[in-house]
Amino acid sequence: MVTINHSEHTTMVILAPNRSMSWRATRLLMLALSILTLVIAVLFGLAGAWIILPFAGLEAASLCAALYYVALKQSARQVIYTNNDTHTLTVEKGCGHPDQRWQYDLYDTAIAVVEQEQSWSPFTISLYDNEQRHLIGEFLNHDDCEQLISQLKSLGLYVRSSGQQHIVEF
């Protein structure tokens, strides 16, 4: 998902994975499946198959851990913002708060777009200058990648070829 916010001196592009469930819905799903698993396990325990109880608890805990991990990964954000006064482009990545931050000179920065073998696969998009190169939007789908590239081009960034990679021109 690509969200764009414009103001007088800055432009902010927020990149986020597409989410099918909110955190609240994920918690309700964890609760419902855990209760169902434990109720079935207790019924088997009452019928004499008590050995099933620890495995049911382990199953419920594993399911909750997996759903929590997926929900955590779905809360990842990448924020790209430009400051027209200082002519800088800043990229921040993280879950909940920025874990990584890179700053580029707006006029020395370009976009490298690598096309995948399958036409439906998303592009690999990198921002780079003379000193650094970082991937952005790894979790975006094909349409969101196209929207991101067009937005970055509207900010004045150029699509340039980079080494041995096949570069897509937009």
Q: Which helix (H) or strand (E) holds 146?
A: helix 142-154
Residue 168 has pLDDT above 80, yes or no: no
Specify if 166 maps to a domain. no
pLDDT, mean of residues 96-107: 88
The helix (run of H) or strand (run of E) holding residue 94 is strand 88-95
CA 111 to CA 12: how far, in whole Å?
Answer: 17
Q: CA–CA separation, 95 vs 97, rounded Å?
A: 6
More confident residue, 159 or 103: 103
pLDDT of residue 120: 66
Instruction: Residue 112: give the domain boundaries.
Output: 2-17+76-161
Check whether residue 62 and residue 113 sit in a common domain: no
The pTM for the full model equals 0.74
Residue 120 phi, psi (nearest 5): -90, -10
Which CATH number goes with the domain that contains 135?
Answer: 2.30.29
Q: How far is CA 169 from CA 113, 116, 150, 153, 162, in A?
A: 8, 14, 11, 11, 12
Q: Is residue 12 located within the same domain as residue 84? A: yes
Provide mean pLDDT across the span 16-32: 91
Q: How confident is the model at residue 5 (pLDDT cuts 50, 70, 90)?
A: confident
Most confident of 58-62, 85-89, 102-106, 137-141: 58-62
SS3 158: strand
Residues 99 and 141 in one domain: yes
Per-residue pLDDT of 129-161, as tens digits, reads 888 889 898 888 888 888 888 888 888 888 764
In this predicted model, what pLDDT tens digit does every residue of 26-80 receive, in sequence order?
999 999 999 999 999 999 999 999 999 999 999 999 999 999 999 988 888 999 9
Q: Are strands 110-114 and 158-159 parallel, antiparallel or unpaired?
A: parallel
Structural domains counted in the chain: 2
Question: What's the N-to-C CA distance of the chain in angstroms?
Answer: 20
Whether 118 and 152 map to the same domain: the answer is yes
Mean pLDDT of 98-122: 82
Q: Rounded to the nearest 5°, which phi and psi values hold at 15? A: -110, 130
Task: Round to whole Å and give the CA distance between 11 and 3.
Answer: 11
Residue 19: band (very low, low, confident or very high) from pLDDT cuts 50, 70, 90: confident
